């Protein structure tokens, strides 16, 4: 078994017990950014993985959702941020650098620009998340979509919560895409889901699902330890890491499915994904 894992701290609650040997997992863990894991699942080199919600919508005939397992928010997400030099409603025709790391975040940003903010910027695909955040102020664009740990660090530095804040004037305007979706629709937003290849033997997929769900349950019961690990990794203060991890939801309950279906409906109406229904791995 080969199982994909995003190395951002938002996945700590799902993989923390597995990493510590608390929950056994008979599989090889493969790290990658969301788009990288999407590609590996598409080529069949992973059996089970967390992937972008949009990737599931675009290729639902290949995958089965692992029940009650996702990365969601019901309001601010804090790690999917649009940072801008001027107000978002003044970005018509402006260059906006978008991350290649997350299809879901880019798709959500496109919907917000079109239906909420009413402007049409020029979206320019960028590389992976910036390693040196101090260089962002010199980049030739008016706004930048940042995801994952980099977004969390940059947000902390803007608010003065990060030790390096004094070196970072940066963007005066910031927009949390989770909060923007909530204000627009009133629903939670699902950024990522766990799926199995339909070709993966059912028994193997079920074992992987049980291990991931058990590890998630352990992680949610040990968020202080995971927040301390996140602080050590990012330099973001402990209370901010704890607030971040506790603000995410790692389940896929009925109201999350409603939010996910609404996102897919809007993408389908825009011609960006085919229509379809959520298909889950059968219960053990």
pLDDT digits (tens, 9 = 90+) for 214-253: 999 999 999 999 999 999 999 889 999 999 999 999 999 9
H/E stretch holding 220 reads helix 202-221
List C-alpha distances in Å: 146 to 106, 150, 251.
Answer: 10, 7, 24
CATH topology of domain 2-72+188-269: D-Maltodextrin-Binding Protein; domain 2 (3.40.190)
Q: Quick one: fold of 80-185? A: D-Maltodextrin-Binding Protein; domain 2 (3.40.190)
Those residues whose C-beta lies under 8 Å from the C-beta of residue 36, and which sit 6 or more positions away, are none
Per residue in 51-61, pLDDT tens?
A: 999 999 999 99
How far apart are the C-alpha atoms of 100 and 129, rounded to whole Å? 8
Helices 12-19 and 223-234 pack at an angle, to 10 degrees, of 100
Q: Tell me whether the CATH fold assigned to 2-72+188-269 matches the one assigned to 80-185.
A: yes
What the block records as the tokens of 188 is: 């939670």
pLDDT in tens, 111-154: 999 999 999 999 998 766 665 556 666 677 899 999 989 889 88
Q: What is the mean pLDDT of the chain?
A: 91
Task: Spell out where 10-109 has E strands.
Answer: 28-31, 48-52, 63-73, 80-84, 95-98
Domain ranges in the chain are 2-72+188-269, 80-185
């Amino acid at each position: 078994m080969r199982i994909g894992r995003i190395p951002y701290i938002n996945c700590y609650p799902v993989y923390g017990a597995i990493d510590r040997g608390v929950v056994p997992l008979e599989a090889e863990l493969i790290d990658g950014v969301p788009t990288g894991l999407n590609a590996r699942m598409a080529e069949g080199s992973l059996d089970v993985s967390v992937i972008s919600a949009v990737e599931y919508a675009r290729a639902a005939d290949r995958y089965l959702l692992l029940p009650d397992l996702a990365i969601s928010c019901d309001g601010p997400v804090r790690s999917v941020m649009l940072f801008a030099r001027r107000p978002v409603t003044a970005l018509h025709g402006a260059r906006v650098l978008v991350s290649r790391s997350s299809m879901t975040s880019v798709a959500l940003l496109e919907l917000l620009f079109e239906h909420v903010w009413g402007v049409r910027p020029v979206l320019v695909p960028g590389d992976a998340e910036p390693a040196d955040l101090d260089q962002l102020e010199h980049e030739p664009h008016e706004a930048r979509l940042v995801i994952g740990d980099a977004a969390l660090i940059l947000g902390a530095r803007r608010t003065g919560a990060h030790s390096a804040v004094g070196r970072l004037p940066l963007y005066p305007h910031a927009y949390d895409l989770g909060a923007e979706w909530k204000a627009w629709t009133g629903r939670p937003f699902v950024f990522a889901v766990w799926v199995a290849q339909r070709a993966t033997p059912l028994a193997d997929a079920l074992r992987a699902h049980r291990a991931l769900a058990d590890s998630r349950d352990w992680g949610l019961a040990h968020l202080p330890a995971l927040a301390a690990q996140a602080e050590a990794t990012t330099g973001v203060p402990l209370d901010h890491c704890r607030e971040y991890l506790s603000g995410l939801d790692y389940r896929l309950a009925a109201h999350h499915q409603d939010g996910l279906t609404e996102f897919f409906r809007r993408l389908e109406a825009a011609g960006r994904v085919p229509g379809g229904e959520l298909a889950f791995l059968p219960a053990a």
